[in-house]
Amino acid sequence: MGGIIDLEKINDNLRCKDVKLAVIILNLIGVPISFLLLVFCMIRMIYSKKKNLSFAILIILFIFFCEIMNDISKLLQLLKYNFEDTRTLPDKNNVETPRGIICQIQIVFSIFSDFGCLLGTLLLSLRTNDVIKNKKRCFNNRIARFLSIFLIAVISIIAALIFLFIDRSLTHDVYGFKYDIRDRCNYWCWLEHRLSTICYAFYFIILVLNIIIACKNYYFLKKSYTKLMSECAPLLTKSNNPDFSKENNGKDNIDSDYKIGKTRDMSLVDQERIAKIEIMKLKFSIYPFITIIIWSLSTLYRVIDDFIMFDVDMVTSDESANKEKDLFDRHYGLQTFVEIILVFHTILSAFRGMLYAFSFIIFEEKIFGNFFRKIYYKCFCKTEESDNLEGNENEITPINNSLGGLSMADSVGIDNNEGKADFRKSSASEYEKNSNDLNTSDYRDND
């Protein structure tokens, strides 16, 4: 038996001696809050859309489910304290204990969550890439959609079980990796150091793919913004018309000087479309961006910890304590460094579910979305178009889907010889047909 605030023999664990209490508190605060927010967001999406769940929503629901599994793996720590404390026993992993079994379940849940989240985010980015470029070839039918998510789930489960079985084999006779003591510094269990490095190598590969696809999506939208500004330019008066030909000869971006005070002669439809692309660039990037930040920092911690602590843990009980003390005595400041990165890793792990939940609440929910969109316009789109949008809020269509209501085929593929009025009319109906597939907000608009 034991207490939730487990500081027993903390002085024997030099790698977390000064921060173990902080690690416990961070988990006790962050994990339950993340869990509740994720559940709220999932219920909100399912209830609001009912049977009309788009593929993007299904992917986000899967990502949130994976994050809930990560939170559950840490909440299981509380269950351990109902069982006998077997950490002081000389037994190794060849003896199963209730705490050791829970530890192994934590490992499986964590790996499933990690692979599911990373692969789910990659699938979301790929789907986004298809839709914004108006391809929509890969995931058009329901079977392809179901199989893609099902395949990710199966891969995640198989990977988790394989890593656990290999871990059991490698640590069968190693006291330093006894399942009962793997949570002596963290508030959850993880793999032994060699397997941990291999596991994070797979994470890193998926992360790089996420970065590549996210960057392609962002720059495509950026190019589309430039194209749309060029298409709208002839509608401006001569006094306010920027020379877009100069920009198109040598620049990919419309200079910000031209954006300020140059759009007041545009129609509200054009002003809205330009502002929407600005929001689209952010919304298309939010889930991949959060994933990239979380996993880049987490990978950094794991690689450092596995490299430093490998020799310390691959020994017996007494040797481990002596080796750890000797390591920190020989390297001044190393103990402090290890403790600091442990705290940062704990923050990322405990609160990452909150980051995903807030990304949904801020940019997808009606209740919060309009407020944060106004802040975004003021901070990042300081043009007269944003002022006009705020002043004429009731005269324009709300931003109610992840495509912002704009078909990329219209914004980048229009024939320059066609009339601009026809361009605006045709695009308005055309983009609505393609936009629902990435709709993750204002759900009832599609009921």
Could you report the per-residue pLDDT of 166-188, keeping only the tens digit for each? 999 998 888 878 888 888 888 88
* Contact yes or no for 60/123 (Cβ under 8 A): no
CB 120 within 8 A of CB 156: no
What pLDDT, in 10s, does the model give residues 49-108? 666 778 888 998 999 999 999 999 999 999 988 888 888 787 777 788 899 999 999 999
Here the tokens at position 126 are 């790929």
Task: In whole angstroms, give the CA distance from residue 128 to residue 133.
Answer: 8
Left if phi > 0, otherwise alpha if psi is -120 to 50, otherwise beta: which for 84?
beta
How many whole angstroms separate alpha carbon 258 and alpha carbon 195? Answer: 54
Residue whose C-alpha is closest to residue 8's, from 74, 100, 103, 88: 88
In this predicted structure, what is the pLDDT of residue 185? 86
Which pLDDT value is given to residue 415?
A: 36
Distance between CA atoms of residues 67 and 418, nearest Å: 48
Question: Residue 248: its pLDDT value, please?
Answer: 45
Q: What's the pLDDT score for residue 229? A: 72
- Note the pTM of the prediction, 2 decimals: 0.77
Q: Is 136 left (phi over 0), alpha (psi -120 to 50) or beta?
A: left
Q: With contact defined as beta carbons under 8 Å apart, do 31 and 350 qualify?
A: yes
- In tens digits, what is the pLDDT along the chain, a chain of 447 residues? 557 788 877 777 888 889 999 999 999 999 999 999 999 989 888 887 666 778 888 998 999 999 999 999 999 999 988 888 888 787 777 788 899 999 999 999 999 999 999 999 999 888 888 777 765 567 778 888 899 999 999 999 999 999 999 999 998 888 878 888 888 888 889 999 999 999 999 999 999 998 898 888 888 877 877 777 776 655 544 444 444 444 444 444 444 444 444 445 566 766 677 777 777 667 667 777 888 888 888 888 888 888 888 888 876 655 666 778 888 888 888 889 999 999 999 999 999 999 888 887 776 666 565 666 666 566 655 544 445 444 443 333 333 333 333 333 333 333 334 444 444 444 444 444 444 555 554 433 333
What is d(CA 306, CA 232) in angstroms, rounded to the nearest whole number? 55
Alpha-carbon gap, residue 52 to 389, rounded angstroms: 30
Nearest-10 crossing angle of helices 317-330, 268-313 = 110
**Residue 309: predicted pLDDT:** 85
Contact 295, 118 (CB under 8 A): yes
Question: Which pLDDT score, from 0 to 100, does residue 184 have?
Answer: 84
Q: What is the dihedral of CA 9, 11, 14, 15, to 10 degrees?
A: 50
